[in-house]
Amino acid sequence: MNKLIQNFLMCISLLLSLVITLSGQTKDSIPPNIQIIGQYHHGSIHLRWAPSQVELWMQVINTGYTIEKFEVNNENNTRQLLKSVQVLPWKKHDFAPYIDGENKQLLAAGHTMHGDWETNLSKNKNIFSRKEEANNRYSIAMYVADIDSTAAKSLGLLYIDEEVVANKEYFYIVSARIDTLSGLIRNGISIQSTPIQLPQVTFENVMEGEGKVSLYWDKEKYIDNYTAYWIEKSTDGIIFKRITNDPILPTSSLEFESNIVNYTDSVTNYQKADYRIIGITPFGYSSAPSHGISAMGRDKTPPRPPSNMSFIEKNNGIELNWKAIIDTDLTHFNVYRGLAFEGHFEKVNLHPISKDIRIYEEKSEYLKYNPYYMVSSVDSAGNESKSLKLKVFLRDTLPPAPPKGLKGKIDTNGVVTLTWKANTEEDIAGYMVYFSNQRDYFYTNLTGQHIKDSTYFDTITLKTLNEYIFYRVSAVDHFRHISDFSDILELKKPDIIAPQPPHIFNIKTENDHLIIQWKASKSMDVAQQCILRRKSGETSWDTITRNFSPDYKDLGLVTNSIYEYTTLAIDDDGLVSIIPKLVKVFLPKQVKTNPPEIAPIVYDTLQNALEISWIANAEDSNTYSLYRSVDEGPFLLIASLPKEKQSYNDKLYTLSEARYTYKIKTNLVNGVKTKFSNEMVFHLIDVKK
């Protein structure tokens, strides 16, 4: 059995590269279950299944699976049990006849179930954990079962039912034979016994390279039919042979996923061959081969590029010179010209330049643009390698004249339109435009590189304190000579910022007029500052002044009226400020506000009371407030009386000889209070005398 183990280990070394990808399919979170697929093929139904967990797989290695077959009657919706069979994985001795065979997948399947555990053999058991090794074995077992039917059968993961009647529906249940979980780990599938046509695989692309041919096909297109592929090759178009010992598995990784699979065959250049591809189903049988496609390796190595590029001016043009090493397959040279280092280059020689020539003369109007040149070496296979780029300068020491006729305008959106007369020199490349916020300050380049047109549009902000902007233009020729500046163009910016309005901060009432106290607008370009007035309820305003003075006296008003005031400012461009919040003020009616006059006090002996009476001297009286002081103490309010009352009895509750003093004032309708009346004194001792 040592030879069997050695063959097992050799197979494992070939398959371990797949473990990282395939083991990603086993997750601790996947519940234990059995996944089943099935297909009718050539009169038999092929069943394939796989346990979803490595732990479940290891449990059934010795116990196997139960297959229950039912016939489905769709008319009465019933199933009839036809048979029940046991499927067991092979024992170790079952693999002995295949030790010297070439079926590596079968040997790998045997090792996953019966091979010695690395964690038992290794001196350092920390190198491989038993769980990792179990996952590796499980992944390899599932892989070889997918690509080889004999390996699947040996693992107990394949059952071929040959007792099938065509055009019927069968239902199969696969159960894991585990005593503790019997009947729980199971799954079913319904299969029609009708023939199906397997799709023919086709190559999506073939690339011919240096000593290699790369073949590409779309795995997503065939994912429901095939799990692996054979590629066959023919050098005579008749006999095809497989070019790999093992099927090609369309693997992917967690980091990179692609639908395109490719295989690269190492070949000898220019030896044509035909290739075709065959799909392998999960049940182990193969599709028909694809149509053959021809390809061969080709010379992709270019010759060494020219070097030591130089030029001289000659006959109103240039002469390019270069050096080159003649490779065995070198056939000729080409010359390319471009106007920009990273731009487009076009071939300028109409005919191939002999491999023995190292010069090329060029007379072209493009020379005034200081173009770049490259020379390429070309071999017999069409491979081409290009030299470094060489920039050509023709001698020119005179700058162009400064542009003339610079004009411009600015619209209310801040768009500046500049125009000037085009220069007449033949080598003019374009113009550069500059601006400054001050006439005699530094001018900033707006265009960066030169522009070809003699019109330029600039966009500026109008919300600035600078009222003017200044422009200049210079001309540039094809040799990068820059002219002096043009004359300065001064443009006034449209004023779109309204001035700030003046501010009313106080209004004082004085008899029959008002004093408006206000602050001037802070805007620098104000031409007029106005105060507007209207009566409350009116819609139109009267401008009462257009000149600023800190205290404005508003005369000729109607008393007992409410007036509204606001302000506005007008700048030198006619822009009007916003109208600030209105200020309302009431101008009261001018009435007499003379204080009342108290008559002498009368003592009523029967009621022991003092009768205080007065004369109202003010207009529009509303109420009276009567105050009393006892023995020169503080005056306290003793009564608030309506305007109809002009007397009041102050009843005394004691016969003390106190000294009483009274005074009164009038509260007018408009809220104004008069001054106090005269004071009237009453002393009881004077009465007793």
Average pLDDT estimate for 29-36:
81
CATH of domain 404-492: 2.60.40.10
> 222-253, pLDDT tens digit by residue?
988 898 999 999 999 899 999 988 888 887 55
Note the pTM of the prediction, 2 decimals.
0.49
Domain spanning 307-391: CATH superfamily: Immunoglobulins (2.60.40.10)
Q: Which residues pair with 564 in a beta bridge?
A: 534, 584
Dist. CA 34–CA 31, nearest whole Å: 10
Tell me what pLDDT residue 310 has. 94
DSSP conformational letter for 356: T
The model's confidence at residue 182, banded by pLDDT at 50, 70 and 90, is low
Residue carrying structure tokens 């599932």: 142
CA angle 575, 541, 535 (to 5 degrees): 150
The model's confidence at residue 23, banded by pLDDT at 50, 70 and 90, is very low
More confident residue, 487 or 133: 487
Comparing 109-123, 312-326, 451-465, which segment has the lowest mean pLDDT? 109-123
Q: Would you say residue 179 has pLDDT above 80?
A: no
Comparing 462-471, 564-573, 680-689, which segment has the lowest mean pLDDT? 680-689
Comparing 47-51, 417-421, 422-426, 617-621, which segment has the lowest mean pLDDT? 617-621
Tell me what pLDDT residue 92 has. 92
H/E run at residue 140 = helix 130-147
Fold match, 2-192 / 307-391: yes
**Can you give the residue ranges of every domain in the chain?**
2-192, 205-295, 307-391, 404-492, 503-587, 597-688
Tell me what pLDDT residue 124 has. 58
- Residue 114 near residue 9 (C-beta atoms within 8 A): no
The model's confidence at residue 19, banded by pLDDT at 50, 70 and 90, is very low
Tell me what pLDDT residue 21 has. 37
Tell me what pLDDT residue 216 has. 94
Pick the CATH number of 2-192 from 3.40.50.150, 3.30.2270.10, 2.60.40.10, 2.40.30.260: 2.60.40.10
Tell me the average pLDDT of the chain: 87
Q: Would you state the CATH architecture of domain 205-295? A: Sandwich (2.60)
| DSSP codes joined into one string, 364-402 | -GGGGG--EEEEEEEETT--EEE---EE-------PPPP
CA angle 269, 271, 275 (to 5 degrees): 110
First to last CA, the chain: 157
Three-state SS for 435?
A: strand
> 475-527, pLDDT tens digit by residue?
998 878 899 999 999 998 888 788 899 999 999 887 778 999 999 988 878 88
Listed in order, strand segments (DSSP E) in 395-451 are 404-410, 415-421, 428-436, 444-445
> 239-290, pLDDT tens digit by residue?
999 998 888 888 755 455 678 889 999 999 999 999 999 999 888 888 999 9
Comparing 205-209, 528-532, 620-624, which segment has the lowest mean pLDDT? 620-624
Dist. CA 52–CA 152, nearest whole Å: 15
Residue carrying structure tokens 């086993």: 26
> 330-377, pLDDT tens digit by residue?
999 999 999 999 999 999 999 999 999 999 999 888 887 889 999 999
Is residue 93 packed enough to be buried (19+ CB in 10 Å), middle (13-18) or exposed (0-12)? exposed
Dist. CA 527–CA 542, nearest whole Å: 19
Comparing 78-92, 310-324, 564-578, 582-596, which segment has the lowest mean pLDDT? 582-596
Fold topology of 597-688: Immunoglobulin-like (2.60.40)
Q: Which amino acid is at 481?
A: H
Is residue 306 packed enough to be buried (19+ CB in 10 Å), middle (13-18) or exposed (0-12)? buried
Tell me what pLDDT residue 11 has. 45
Tell me what pLDDT residue 3 has. 45
Q: Would you say residue 685 has pLDDT above 80?
A: no
Tell me what pLDDT residue 5 has. 43
Tell me what pLDDT residue 268 has. 93
Q: What share of the chain is helix, strand, coil (3-state, %, to 5)?
A: 15, 40, 45
Domain spanning 503-587: CATH superfamily: Immunoglobulins (2.60.40.10)
Percent of the chain with pLDDT over 70: 90
H/E run at residue 12 = helix 2-15
Dist. CA 411–CA 417, nearest whole Å: 9
Three-state SS for 149?
A: helix
> 439-454, pLDDT tens digit by residue?
999 999 999 999 999 9
Q: Would you say residue 596 has pLDDT above 70?
A: yes
H/E run at residue 318 = strand 317-323
